[in-house]
Structure 1
Amino acid sequence: MDLFTFNIVEIILLASIGILLIIQIIYYFSLYNQLHVHNKAASEGDLIYETDLPPISVIISARNESENLRKYLPSILEQDYPNFEVIVINDGSTDESEDVLTILEEQYTNLYHTFTPDGARYISRKKLALTVGIKASKYDWLVFTDADCRPASKEWLRLMARNFTPRTEIVLGYSGYEQNKGWFYRKVSFTNLFMSMRFLGFALIDKPYMGIGRNMAYRKELFFKNKGFSSHLNLQRGDDDLFINEVATPYNTKVETSPGAIIRMEPAYGYKSWKEEKVSYLATSHFFHGAQRYLLGFETTSRLLFIATIIGTIAIGIINKQWVVLGLAILAYILRFVMQIVIINKTATDLEERKYYLTLPIFDIVLPLDVLKFKLFRTIRGKGDYMRR
């Protein structure tokens, strides 16, 4: 048999692999590599930043977070920044949160706390708490994080503020988990890293479509100009991703991902809580405007088709003893695998995350399957489970 004579099935499979590989290369270099390109430009001094440091209001909603407030709030209150306040909204806590906040207020003059009114209806508790905090804030620039989070350095606010140009209204940052061990932690951390490469990558190519409330900033004026969370008050989530999806434009959004501006959050303690977070996110992502959601879905589809076609081509090559076909399929997979290792791990290094090698082929398949499973959970449970709380 002529090694370079292929039958029609082999030709179709090889052509499909080539097309799908090109699609994957385009996504990795035009989207997933953007964080590394941005961080490299920042480290080499190729980006122009603001030197003014406007006053900032840091907004934190906390519900039964007494231990986290005691543990992490000082790292925010002690930021190296000339003029800022921290407003914590005690959202109906039944633990010692009120006592912790009262004690910390005596130690820190820039800390203020308030509470959400009881009996609020037709609005999620989180959105009500944030709205209360925003109305109580003194300054136009608002920075958001959560009670179970800590900044990676005392320069967090300075690094976020260097993006506050006159035309900027939104700054998106990166948040990652604290270091932990185990397979579940690796999967959760990789999911978070890959998701961040997606939404921050789109923002860096002037197509912002969402934000994460653990590390982001926007102007108070922007919040009230767009009537706050009024368009999705009845949804449990959406205070970060849906709001940014509505107000972000190619011209008003910047990204800050330097190591000192990273927010570290408590590691996920179990599958159940992590699943609830992901299912809730899928419930709100359904309302996203823009083509980004479909473009990401297309990337996932092309990825799974690429893997399936590689497996099918290898099987055909073995059955037909067509070693050239087998070799080309393996070579295509190796090329994509090397591209993944380089781009994902360069980004992971920039963001001070762990690197991934042998687990990448596993996560390639597991992550889309998780999303499919979570979508089924959301469908079975219905819309009502994601309404106001």
Structure 2
Amino acid sequence: MLNLSLWLFVGFALINLFFYAFFAGFLWRRKLIKPSGKTLTQPLSVIVCAKNEAQNLEKNIPHILSQDYPNFELILVNDSSKDNTLEVMEEFEKADSRVKIVNVLPNEHFWGNKKYALTLGIKKAKNDFLVFTDADCHPESNLWLQYLATAFNSQKQLVLGYGKYKTQKGLLNKFIRFETLLTAIQYFAYAHYKSAYMGVGRNLAYTAKLFYEHNGFVNHMNVLSGDDDLFVNESANRENTIYCTNKESFTLSDPKNTWQDWMFQKKRHISTAKHYKVRHKFLLGLFYTSQLGMGLFFLLTNILLIFKFEMDILQVLWLVMLVRYLVVMLVFAKATSVFNEKRLLPILPLLEWGLVTIQMLIFVSNQNKKPTTWAR
């Protein structure tokens, strides 16, 4: 039993280290975007889909309208809101000719489906280059559109961006930002090695041509979430995808304020993963399994070694774990610098193993009850 537990720990640790080496390859070799005059002339359509987001729209839309970009329209999609979202949108439309409104009425076939509302917004767009963000976030700089526009070219039709969450006090905020950072490290690394599997709707761009070539969201319209990651998973290939990790291209969102709301959000996001391509499901599952398996067999092996008084082997076990931790710390030190995230490193072990536990609980919970609406 001891030998089996020890070898399983070593095996999972090696697999886990392989993934972190993979992530490190992206972090130290990532490519930055350099805006150029030629690309800044192409017209863009920025699309924001909102459901009961009146206050967020009032706060965040001015950040989009103040972008230092010469030619773009802003399409605001009201997805059957019950508050005064539509009235707020109309005020922006009156004040700025670049603003267009799509008012989505309740539809019994697509009730609560963000993809239906987004599709109507895309159909309203007059430009081929589409940029997406959410009502509860805003660009961190007025150069956001410049960087996304520069990323497009004759081959690159899909641009992945980074969506940060605001830094606030409390452990919940640290978990939210850590999970967002870890997810970003993964999807940017896969994109770097030409196997993009997801993006985030808070900061995403693609061409209308790509959208229509893949029949929009038709293949996963019945899945509540996935207007961002499932579309990327379906449409991305080795040649058409590019990522943008310049700090000027980040968006900033308001994080959830309660554990319940955050868990609900994560349940909705995790429920889409089973629809990914087989190779992506395998690799993402293997990374998570290596995290979970390594932790479980590390604890079990410690107990068995102490029980059998095998102190020499116990020291080796802890040495392996220390080396692994140093590698992970190095990767996250670089990642927090690249993505401008603060105050996460001092409690990295707590965040890492806490997140593994939370993800396991969400996975189990999702087997019994799935979210029924895209907004909460």
Contact 2:163 2:203 in 1 (8 A): yes
Q: Quick one: which of 72, 97, 105 aligns to 1:109? A: 97
Cross-structure match for 2:28:
37
* AA partner of residue 52 (structure 1): T
SS in 2 for 1:58: strand
Cross-structure match for 2:286:
298
Q: Quick one: which of 178, 188, 209 aligns to 1:190? A: 178
Q: Quick one: which of 56, 60, 76 aligns to 1:68? A: 56
Deviation at 1:27, TM superposition (A): 0.5
* AA partner of residue 250 (structure 1): R
SS in 1 for 2:130: strand
Cross-structure match for 1:79:
67
Distance (Å, rounded) in 1 between the aligned partners of 2:374 and 2:321: 43
Residues 1-389 of structure 1 mapped to structure 2, 5 A cutoff: 15-30=7-22, 32-39=23-30, 41-42=31-32, 51-53=38-40, 54-122=42-110, 124-381=112-369, 385=372
Contact 1:59 1:145 in 2 (8 A): yes
Contact 2:267 2:370 in 1 (8 A): no
Distance (Å, rounded) in 1 between the aligned partners of 2:29 and 2:137: 24
Distance (Å, rounded) in 1 between the aligned partners of 2:10 and 2:168: 39
* AA partner of residue 24 (structure 1): N
199-208 or 373-382, larger mean C-alpha shift: 373-382
Distance (Å, rounded) in 1 between the aligned partners of 2:80 and 2:300: 56
294-303 or 57-66, larger mean C-alpha shift: 294-303
Cα distance change of structure 1 residues 13 and 371 upon mapping to structure 2, 3 Å threshold:
closer
Contact 1:90 1:98 in 2 (8 A): yes
TM (norm. structure 1) is 0.89
Identity of counterpart residues, as a percentage? Answer: 30
Contact 2:78 2:101 in 1 (8 A): yes
Distance (Å, rounded) in 2 between the aligned partners of 1:134 and 1:199: 24
Cα distance change of structure 1 residues 123 and 208 upon mapping to structure 2, 3 Å threshold:
farther
SS in 1 for 2:345: coil
Deviation at 1:56, TM superposition (A): 0.6
SS in 1 for 2:187: helix
Deviations 1:303-327 (A, max 9, x none): 2222233333433443444332122
* AA partner of residue 310 (structure 2): Q
Q: What RMSD over aligned residues (CA atoms) do the two structures have, in Å?
A: 2.4
SS in 2 for 1:359: helix
TM (norm. structure 2) is 0.92
Cα distance change of structure 1 residues 38 and 116 upon mapping to structure 2, 3 Å threshold:
farther
* AA partner of residue 27 (structure 2): H
Distance (Å, rounded) in 2 between the aligned partners of 1:233 and 1:11: 49
* AA partner of residue 210 (structure 2): L
Distance (Å, rounded) in 2 between the aligned partners of 1:281 and 1:291: 19
Cα distance change of structure 1 residues 270 and 133 upon mapping to structure 2, 3 Å threshold:
same
13-22 or 176-185, larger mean C-alpha shift: 13-22
Deviations 1:325-367 (A, max 9, x none): 1221111111111111110121111111124334322233322
Work out the number of aligned pairs and report it: 374
Deviation at 1:48, TM superposition (A): 7.3
* AA partner of residue 28 (structure 1): Y
Mind listing any 5+ residue stretches in structure 1 that lack a counterpart? 1-8
Distance (Å, rounded) in 2 between the aligned partners of 1:308 and 1:167: 45
* AA partner of residue 194 (structure 1): L
Cα distance change of structure 1 residues 387 and 268 upon mapping to structure 2, 3 Å threshold:
closer
Cα distance change of structure 1 residues 178 and 387 upon mapping to structure 2, 3 Å threshold:
closer
Cα distance change of structure 1 residues 159 and 188 upon mapping to structure 2, 3 Å threshold:
same
Cα distance change of structure 1 residues 104 and 233 upon mapping to structure 2, 3 Å threshold:
same
Cα distance change of structure 1 residues 67 and 79 upon mapping to structure 2, 3 Å threshold:
same
Greater C-alpha Rg: 1
Cα distance change of structure 1 residues 49 and 284 upon mapping to structure 2, 3 Å threshold:
same
* AA partner of residue 85 (structure 2): S
SS in 1 for 2:76: strand
Mind listing any 5+ residue stretches in structure 2 that lack a counterpart? none
SS in 1 for 2:75: strand
Contact 1:235 1:386 in 2 (8 A): no
